[in-house]
Amino acid sequence: MSARQSPLTFFETVCSNFDKAATYLQHPQGLLDQIKACNSVYHFRFPVQTEDGYEVISAWRAEHSQHKLPTKGGIRYSEEVNEDEVMALAALMTYKCAVVDVPFGGAKGGIKINPKKYTVEELQRITRRYTAELVKKNFIGPGIDVPAPDYGTGAREMAWIVDTYIALNPESLDGSACVTGKPISQGGIRGRKEATGRGVSFGVREACNLAEDMKALGLTKGLEGKRVVVQGLGNVGYHAAKFLQEGGAVIVGLAEYEGAIHNPKGLDVDEVVKHRNSTRSILNFPGATNIPKTLEALELDCDILVPAALENQITGENAPRIKAKIVGEGANGPTTADAEEILLKKGIMVLPDMYLNAGGVTVSYFEWLKNLQHVRMGRMGRRFAERSMGQVIEIIEASTGHSVTDKQRQMLVKGPDEEDLVNSGLEDTMIVAYHEIHEVWKKTKNIDLRTAAFISSIDKIATSYLELGIFP
Ligand code: NAD
């Protein structure tokens, strides 16, 4: 499925965004052409035995850029998967990784199936066979190409992949780093599930913390009290809403496919999820107004709109009615190209997907590092840090005659565990990247934040090629 409704294909659209940004850079055309090209696409078919007999399955893995290795990107199971889509998503992964300084090239894979139509055993067979095909062609490995979950896949599929890879490479000491998004017991990392939504909240908060930008939008500085509408209560949307709420924002609207709810006084995200789990619908939440036409939730009066469900949600048709001052793209490609033009003309700030939803790949990078180090983050230093801080407190207490309470002591001495370190690394990544993009945005006249993110990303990739001396 094309992520933007336009005469261009999805990959062509990504390339046209690239070309727009490249006009602001002085790099040789040959180098720009190399960065833009999709280096390799492997399209293969394999048979699988199902309850109804044999079926031939179509699958892809695209590796867009090997300027950094390994390449990295999710695997999606969807009937919509096609070659253009995996190439486009692989390209976006290249640019996304560069924006947040994750040292990977971009890749993406897909299997053209509707996973709901298969039994768990069949899905396992398909996943293991897909992995074996990638191994045969050197399209997977800790230093080659490292997949992750995407639409229709999750920790379960990643566990099958790592198990198959290690079975075929029994001497690979680093085999568990061949894929990320694994269950913790298979080498996964704490905080990965929440990472994209948490990253969205960090990115939105950072944008809101710049007083001058907020003033230009007619808003006050900070997240506190900002009215937020979130579309999609899945992994990204739920965590984004939850962490934005914890950061002081007021969630005034939530939209799911069955409808949306609105309460200008605020909705408690966890209570809404509980209500949806028990009634199978977001609608009829106590105190909230129902919006049966779910897409209309995007037009609610709010400060921040976070589309976190699917692509092509803000289009040329509904963009003129969007009232938010900030659109934070949690999903990939939620805004069509013509819609973006309209939003920008209305003075709306668009925080681009390429930056805003990069939290997932950032924490996948931490998982890969953990697998290569063969040790859980925090394991070596946590107790040492706790003991040292305890001694500092004792010395201060002895010299001042004042004692800290037990609660204060607990808070002060707590050494960082794996999740603390992951969240801290994610927060730092999102803050640093935002300011890099922001600096480009401010110093380049008449561009938007998406173009600024592309410029920042292309420049970093170009520099890494230039420093290799490949392009004099
Ligand atoms: P998900 O399947 O967990 O959640 C999507 C949610 O959107 C579901 O709850 C679904 O019911 C809801 N939805 C579907 N159609 C809808 C509609 N018309 N209106 C409102 N809600 C609707 O998926 P996810 O992992 O949260 O991914 C969401 C988006 O974020 C996708 O574009 C994905 O590519 C992107 N993304 C995800 C990650 C990640 O780490 N999960 C990382 C980067 C980008």
Residue 4 confidence (pLDDT) above 50:
no
Instruction: Find out whether the beta carbon of 308 lies less than 6 Å from any atom of ligand 1.
Output: yes
Domain annotation covers residue 398: yes
pLDDT digits (tens, 9 = 90+) for 257-307: 999 999 999 999 999 999 999 999 999 999 999 999 999 999 999 999 999
Q: Which entry of 96, 108, 182, 226 is annotated as an active-site residue?
A: 108
Same domain (yes/no): 349, 393: no
The whole-angstrom separation of Cα 451 and Cα 232 is 26
Domain annotation covers residue 427: no
Residue 409 confidence (pLDDT) above 70:
yes
Same domain (yes/no): 313, 342: yes
What's the 208 CA to ligand 1 centre distance in angstroms?
24
Residue 104 confidence (pLDDT) above 90:
yes
pLDDT given at position 472: 64
High-pLDDT (> 90) share of the chain, % = 92
pLDDT tier, 468 (very low <50, low <70, confident <90, very high otherwise): confident
Q: Which of 247, 210, 206, 209 is nearest to 228 (CA)?
A: 247
Once rounded to an integer, what is the mean pLDDT over residues 106-120?
97
H or E stretch including 263? none
Once rounded to an integer, what is the mean pLDDT over residues 328-340?
93
Q: Which of 408, 383, 379 is nearest to 396 (CA)?
A: 408
Instruction: Find out whether the beta carbon of 255 lies less than 6 Å from any atom of ligand 1.
Output: yes
In the chain the first and final C-alpha atoms are separated, in Å, by 39
Same domain (yes/no): 211, 304: yes
Same domain (yes/no): 85, 168: yes
Once rounded to an integer, what is the mean pLDDT over residues 25-31?
93
Residue partners of 106: CB distance under 8 A and separation at least 6? 63, 64, 65, 71, 72, 73, 90, 91, 92, 93, 94, 95, 96, 97
Once rounded to an integer, what is the mean pLDDT over residues 173-182?
97
Residue 153 confidence (pLDDT) above 60:
yes
Instruction: Find out whether the beta carbon of 384 lies less than 6 Å from any atom of ligand 1.
Output: no
Residue 328 confidence (pLDDT) above 90:
yes
Nearest CA to ligand 1 atom 35: 331
What's the 239 CA to ligand 1 centre distance in angstroms?
11
What's the 287 CA to ligand 1 centre distance in angstroms?
26
DSSP for 233-253, written as a single string: -SHHHHHHHHHHHHTT-EEEE
Residue 227 phi/psi, 5-degree rounding, is -90, 125
Domain annotation covers residue 94: yes
> Strands of 349-351's sheet, edge to edge?
289-291, 259-262, 250-256, 227-231, 304-307, 326-328, 349-351
Average pLDDT, the chain: 95
Same domain (yes/no): 33, 167: yes
What's the 431 CA to ligand 1 centre distance in angstroms?
24
Domain that holds residue 73: 10-178
DSSP-assigned letter for residue 323: -
Instruction: Find out whether the beta carbon of 331 lies less than 6 Å from any atom of ligand 1.
Output: yes
Neighbouring-strand partners of residue 229: 253, 305
pLDDT tier, 204 (very low <50, low <70, confident <90, very high otherwise): very high
Nearest CA to ligand 1 atom 30: 331
pLDDT digits (tens, 9 = 90+) for 368-406: 999 999 999 989 999 999 999 999 999 999 999 999 999
Domain annotation covers residue 370: no
Domain annotation covers residue 29: yes
Instruction: Find out whether the beta carbon of 231 lies less than 6 Å from any atom of ligand 1.
Output: yes
Same domain (yes/no): 41, 140: yes
Once rounded to an integer, what is the mean pLDDT over residues 17-43?
95
- CATH code of residue 204: 3.40.50.720
DSSP for 137-199, written as a single string: TT--BTTTEEEEE-TT--HHHHHHHHHHHHHH-TT-TTGGGG-SS--GGGT--TTTTTHHHHH
Pocket test for ligand 1, best of 81, 99, 196 (most atoms within 8 A of CB): 196
Residue 3 confidence (pLDDT) above 70:
no
Residue 471 confidence (pLDDT) above 50:
yes
Q: Number of folded domains in the chain?
A: 3
Query: Where among 418, 444, 466 does a domain terminate?
Result: 418
Same domain (yes/no): 327, 412: no
pLDDT digits (tens, 9 = 90+) for 205-248: 999 999 999 999 999 999 999 999 999 999 999 999 999 999 99
What's the 293 CA to ligand 1 centre distance in angstroms?
18
State which ligand 1 atom lies nearest to the alpha carbon of 181: 40
**Whole-prediction pTM value?**
0.94
State which ligand 1 atom lies nearest to the alpha carbon of 311: 32
State which ligand 1 atom lies nearest to the alpha carbon of 255: 20
State which ligand 1 atom lies nearest to the alpha carbon of 313: 18
- CATH code of residue 131: 3.40.50.10860
- Residue 254 is encoded by which pair of tokens? 């939530």
Query: Where among 325, 356, 387 does a domain terminate?
Result: 356
Instruction: Find out whether the beta carbon of 241 lies less than 6 Å from any atom of ligand 1.
Output: no
Once rounded to an integer, what is the mean pLDDT over residues 333-347?
94
Instruction: Find out whether the beta carbon of 234 lies less than 6 Å from any atom of ligand 1.
Output: yes
Same domain (yes/no): 200, 172: no
Domain annotation covers residue 290: yes
Establish whether 108 is a catalytic residue. Answer: yes
pLDDT digits (tens, 9 = 90+) for 35-81: 999 999 999 999 999 888 999 999 999 999 999 999 999 999 999 99
Domain annotation covers residue 300: yes
State which ligand 1 atom lies nearest to the alpha carbon of 195: 40
Same domain (yes/no): 269, 327: yes
Same domain (yes/no): 154, 273: no
Domain annotation covers residue 470: no
Same domain (yes/no): 65, 127: yes
The whole-angstrom separation of Cα 75 and Cα 308 is 19
Same domain (yes/no): 171, 201: no
Residue 2 confidence (pLDDT) above 60:
no
pLDDT given at position 9: 86
